Amino acid sequence: MFGVVQNNNFNHNKKKMKKVEKKNSFFNFSRLLQSRQILMVVLAILIIIFVIGYYFYKNYYRNYNYIKVDSSKYLVYTLETKLNNQNLYSEIPYININSDDANLVNETIEKYAKQFLKNKNNLLVYDSQLNGDILSISLRMADYRSGYSFPDVSFHTYNFDLRTCTLMTDEELLDLFHVDKDDVSKKIEKAFKKYYDDEVYHGYLVKEECDYHCFLEWRGIDDYINSVHYFVENGKLGVYRSFNIYSIYNEEDYYQDEDYKFYITE
């Protein structure tokens, strides 16, 4: 009596809903794909910006190009070389910093080198090191004017604070490393006592003939920190202290260039 009549309209609507769901699913997938593409583009742009920024930092700030006279060169480079009578090259440095202090130092070095190298036996070389914002330039002069086969060796150093492009004083360097001149004197004294003991051990000196005070006289030392020149190397404070390497005991072969260098901090 009550028959079930199939509603064709219901079935038709059901099919339409399925089609709409398929369309919505495709539309959501397209939006997701589009969002991912946009994200990838944004990420690529950020990477490019980072690479450009890093290159700018590396070549402009980390290499201190913004304080250089010539940004294509190192902070310190060889301005001129001269060959001496021993076929060794002297090197005259140029401090590539655009500041009054650097200009004054460059003029001083150039003027000194011109006079010093008139003797064709003499030799002038340099070394430079960058430690943080401190640039140290060390000059080593080998002077043969005394007529001996071995030279009188002397040093001069310049230390620049690259934040201000100015020369640092000895006191500023000592304060930076939390030491004083008494610490410097003790370090040098300890090294010279070792030199003396070593000369005795190798037979250059006999204690009974020449004690430590005699040794210092031959070295020309009456004050450990007289004529010291400070530098910074590998994060350590050091000084150059020249002294006589010869005497009646023929010790000149014992000493090497590194023996003029004394580290004050570890």
DSSP string, 219-260: HT-S-TTTTEEEEEETTEEEEEE-----STT-GGGT--GGGG
Banded pLDDT at 41 (limits 50, 70, 90): low
Residues 103 and 192 both lie in one domain: no
Listed residues 122, 141, 167: the one ending a domain: 167
Question: Looking at residue 250, what is its pLDDT?
Answer: 79
Is the confidence at residue 106, as pLDDT, over 50? Answer: yes
Question: Looking at residue 54, what is its pLDDT?
Answer: 53
Question: Looking at residue 68, what is its pLDDT?
Answer: 97
Question: Looking at residue 177, what is its pLDDT?
Answer: 98
Residues 137 and 201 both lie in one domain: no
pLDDT digits (tens, 9 = 90+) for 132-164: 999 999 999 999 988 777 899 999 999 999 999
Give a yes or no: residue 17 inside a domain. no
Helices 181-201/212-219 angle, 10° precision: 110
Residues 49 and 98 both lie in one domain: no
Q: What is the pTM of this model?
A: 0.78
Listed residues 121, 147, 167: the one ending a domain: 167
Give a yes or no: residue 250 inside a domain. yes
Give a yes or no: residue 18 inside a domain. no
Domain holding 147: CATH number? Answer: 3.30.565.40
Listed residues 144, 167, 190: the one ending a domain: 167
Give a yes or no: residue 67 inside a domain. no
Give a yes or no: residue 2 inside a domain. no
Question: Looking at residue 5, what is its pLDDT?
Answer: 45
Residues 92 and 161 both lie in one domain: yes
Residues 105 and 151 both lie in one domain: yes
Sheet of 123-131: strand order equals 123-131, 134-143, 152-161, 166-167
Residues 145 and 238 both lie in one domain: no
Spacing of C-alpha 57 from chain mean position = 18
pLDDT digits (tens, 9 = 90+) for 185-208: 999 999 999 999 999 999 999 999
| Cα gap 152→77, rounded to integer Å | 26
Question: Looking at residue 208, what is its pLDDT?
Answer: 94
* Domain membership of residue 229 as a residue range: 169-266
Give the mean pLDDT of the chain: 86
Question: Looking at residue 134, what is its pLDDT?
Answer: 97
The token pair that represents 122 in the structure block = 């003499």
Residues 110 and 43 both lie in one domain: no
Residues 115 and 192 both lie in one domain: no
**Lowest-pLDDT range of 5-9, 91-95, 242-246:** 5-9
**Lowest-pLDDT range of 14-18, 45-49, 188-192:** 14-18
Residues 193 and 266 both lie in one domain: yes
Residues 142 and 111 both lie in one domain: yes
CA dihedral 115, 118, 124, 130 (to 10 degrees): 40
Give a yes or no: residue 131 inside a domain. yes
Residues 134 and 90 both lie in one domain: yes
Give a yes or no: residue 12 inside a domain. no
Residues 137 and 230 both lie in one domain: no
Give a yes or no: residue 14 inside a domain. no
Number of domains the chain contains: 3
